[in-house]
Amino acid sequence: MKVMKIIKESISIGLGILAAGFGLKGFLLSSHFIDGGVTGVSMLVADISAIPISLLIFLINVPFLWLGYKKLGLWFAIKSTIAIGLLSVSLVVINFPDVTHDKLLTAVFGGVFIGTGSGLAMRGGAVLDGTEIAAVLISKRTQLLKVSDFILLLNVVIFGLAAFLLGVEPAMYSILTYMAAAKMIDFILNGIEQYSGITVVSTHSEAIRRAITLTLGRGVTIYQGKSGYGKDGHVNDPRDIIFTVATRLEIPSLKQTILRIDPKAFIVQQSVDDTTGGLLKRKGLH
């Protein structure tokens, strides 16, 4: 079982390296567009110096790999070092075709392939860009910055430098590249079945629970609460509160079912970044 896991992770990381290398060499480098993070810094330095980007990508990531080893473990650091090293080698060894010189296509599809590569590497338990390591560690040390906030601030600085050194137009296309890459990473990691949490407060909680579990085939969690001053005017009236998790494709059907039972039901929907365990898939109904 462990061998199969290692094989799957290795395949995922390998495909990620090829996708990221294709995005860099097949689209971005010839047009002098950059991505965000350490990769973007490497591309920016390579554009204004004679240092090869293949060398820069590895060297600039070394401090982040050391942080990853100290804080996230040896195995993570080994996989990430190998992945970043192979990405650098692939840029030298593999003759990726220069696909297009259309600026819009270059920005969008360069970002798509780089994002796909980063997402596949993450699925394999490694990173191709050390920015994520630094962001996670900084967010743990301070309550002022979340991971996304740190990455955003870093990229604002990078794209600001790009506008100064490369020109405003390449910097704007580079931002488009970064946005495409970020969307692809999110899609690879979360997929089309991105989950949402649904909290339902209703006086018909038992009927709603039965509809969700028996008709829709989803698991629920029930906890007790008291009403404040709501539409029914009752204060401190005890009632069951239902919580369930569903994919965004299932949300419309779920809401219709709840509101059909109780048109006055209070429904709160929030995005869920990750889920583990529990009844996430529909169970078989007979």
Q: What is residue 286's predicted lDDT score, i.e. its pLDDT?
A: 39
Neighbouring-strand partners of residue 226: 238
Q: Which sign, positive or negative, has the C-alpha torsion 205, 206, 210, 213?
A: positive
The answer to whether the pTM exceeds 0.85 is no
Q: What is residue 283's predicted lDDT score, i.e. its pLDDT?
A: 47
Which pLDDT tens digit goes with each residue over 174-220? 999 988 988 888 788 766 556 788 999 888 889 998 888 887 777 88
Residue position matching structure tokens 């779920």: 254
Which pLDDT tens digit goes with each residue over 24-41? 999 998 888 888 888 889
- Cα–Cα distance, 20 to 96 (Å, whole number): 11
Which pLDDT tens digit goes with each residue over 228-285? 665 555 666 778 899 998 877 678 888 888 999 999 888 998 877 666 655 555 544 4
Under DSSP, the state recorded for 283 is P
Under DSSP, the state recorded for 49 is S
Which pLDDT tens digit goes with each residue over 62-92? 998 998 888 778 888 899 999 999 999 999 9
Domains of the chain: 2-190 (no CATH), 195-271 (3.30.70.120)
Beta-carbon-side half-sphere exposure of residue 91 (alpha carbons within 13 Å): 24
DSSP string, 111-168: HHHHHHHHHHHHHTT--SSTHHHHHHHHHHH-SS--HHHHHHHHHHHHHHHHHHHT-H
